[in-house]
A = this chain, B = another copy of it.
């Protein structure tokens, strides 16, 4: 149907008109709808069967009000298209690790998906020091499969470039290009930082080697079309509970460097780790959970690298290096070395992108709730100072990183300096 904005009433008839939704809601079900979004760009409704509340769905529709703004309305509709495409792709490659999609209506700029009603945004779970026994397994599968199967390691050149053409996403790219890589590292009016760490912030903004490294990683983000990446894979884009993990909100999806996704995830775990200097006063409890998170970082990388390489060995059907390319005495070893170097470069990208994203969270316009929710500014400064120092080191050293333990060692060294600081003061 032609676009019309739905509301809490009209959405009920709309739902009943969609054949794809008959398996979710029986035809005579007494439906209710409640708008729960923040309403800036999209409306988000929870639709429920009042007679059987476990029958529910999320309906997300791009708002029409921006239509008068021309390009912005296009942007809103496109944003919905990228999110929809990427979610469908995740459902194909990693079913159960993203919300199930029940229905898509491009004309209406609308998507109907699974209601994740017993899941928590991951940041909240981590600040509450929850244990997540399956997370490393789940998220490493999500990353390995979605990155591998959309890369030149698996797809033919034609298939990859055809898919890439559906994800030309310059407006959303620009948001990341400006607000991850550039603006936080220079004077820009929207930047926010804690005055107590102003010395660290100014040091970063005037560190030539650091700024060159950030610029080189930005050039990679703008040009390195390695695989379909989520491109905003922080712990606010993951909903979970102890059993289940779902990746949401892929509106920034495009073909970019794989390490940007892996780096976003690891970096957010480090920021949460540091946030416990504010949230968890008992040093034993804190240290124990911090070590749990650092072990999770190691575990995610190791499982990811293992799964990615196994997928590659078992599905080497992309056109980058066909099996026959390695068919000669010594070829098997050379192929293994090629894979080792590929994953090493991916780890180094992970370090670089993770580092620059750590900095942007402390010095740019977008913070992380894990840390920004620490009300005492001096306690908050402890986490922020460490985050800036660790981010700067990951970024500047990224080309010298050889194992995930190198990354963790940097975190532990900076944390040890902090413990010494406390001991001296105490």
Residues of chain B within 8 A of A224, CB atoms compared: 223-225
Cβ of A329 within 8 Å of any chain B Cβ, yes or no, is: yes
- Residues on B with beta carbons closer than 8 Å to the beta carbon of A216: 338, 341
Q: Contacts of A174 on B, CB cut-off 8 Å? A: 157-158, 319
Identical subunits present: 2
Query: Judging by beta carbons under 8 Å apart, are B158 and A208 in contact?
Result: no
Do the beta carbons of A212 and B338 come within 8 Å of each other? Answer: yes
A83 within 8 A of B: no
A59 CB, min distance to chain B CBs, angstroms: 31
| A26 interface hit (Cβ, 8 Å) | no
Please, which residue of chain B has its CB at the minimum distance from the CB of A341?
B212
Q: A324 near B215 (CB under 8 angstroms)?
A: no
Residue of B nearest to A324 (CB): B186
Interface presence of A302 (CB below 8 A): no
Q: Which chain B residues border A330 with CB–CB below 8 Å?
A: 206, 208
Contact B322 A182 (CB under 8 A): yes
Instruction: Specify the chain B residue showing the minimal Cβ separation from A170.
Output: B161
Q: Answer whether residue A52 sits at the interface, using C-beta atoms and an 8 A cutoff.
A: no
Q: Write the chain B residue with the least CB distance to A162.
A: B170
Within 8 A of B (CB), among A323-346: 324-331, 333-334, 337-338, 341-342
A134 at the interface (CB under 8 A from B): no
Docked Cα-Cα span, A4 to B177, in Å, equals 47
Q: Does A164 lie at the interface of the complex (its beta carbon under 8 Å from any beta carbon of B)?
A: yes
For the complex, count residues of A whose C-beta is within 8 A of B: 54
Cα distance, A169 to B165, chains bound together (Å): 10
Instruction: Report whether A186 and B327 are in contact in the complex, using a CB–CB cutoff of 8 Å.
Output: yes
Q: Is A132 among interface residues, defined by CB-CB distance under 8 A?
A: no
Contact B334 A218 (CB under 8 A): no
CB-based contact B152/A219 at 8 Å: yes
- Closest Cβ–Cβ distance, residue A305 to chain B (whole Å): 18
A108 at the interface (CB under 8 A from B): no
**Residues 308-362 of A at the B interface (beta carbon under 8 Å):** 319-322, 324-331, 333-334, 337-338, 341-342
A185→B158 CA distance, assembly (Å): 22
Q: Are B327 and A219 in contact (CB under 8 A)?
A: no
Name the B residues within 8 Å of A187 (CB-CB).
324, 327
**Cβ B162 vs Cβ A165 within 8 A:** no
The answer to whether B177 and A333 touch across the interface, beta carbons within 8 angstroms, is no
Tell me which of A170, A324, A327 has the highest count of chain B C-beta atoms within 10 A of its own C-beta: A170
Q: How far is the CA of A223 from the CA of B334 in the complex (A)?
A: 22
Chain B residue at smallest Cβ distance from A171: B158
CB atoms of B161 and A334 under 8 A apart: no
CB pair B157 A173 closer than 8 Å: yes
Cβ of A404 < 8 Å from any Cβ of B?
A: no
Residues of B within 8 A of A419 (CB): none
Contact with B along A172-210 (1 / 0, CB 8 A): 011001100010011110000000000000000110110
Query: Would A320 and B219 count as touching, CB distance under 8 A?
Result: yes
- Contacts A208-B334, A212-B337, A223-B226 given; 6 further ones with Cβ under 8 A? A160-B222, A164-B168, A182-B325, A185-B325, A206-B329, A224-B225
Closest 7 A/B residue pairs (Cβ): A208-B334, A161-B170, A158-B170, A206-B328, A212-B338, A165-B168, A223-B225
Task: Name 15 A/B residue pairs within 8 A (Cβ), A-sorted.
Answer: A152-B222, A157-B177, A158-B170, A158-B174, A161-B168, A178-B319, A182-B321, A182-B322, A187-B324, A206-B329, A211-B325, A212-B338, A215-B320, A215-B325, A224-B225
**A binding-site residues for B, Cβ under 8 Å:** 152, 157-158, 160-162, 164-165, 168-171, 173-174, 177-178, 182, 185-188, 205-206, 208-209, 211-212, 215-216, 218-219, 222-226, 319-322, 324-331, 333-334, 337-338, 341-342
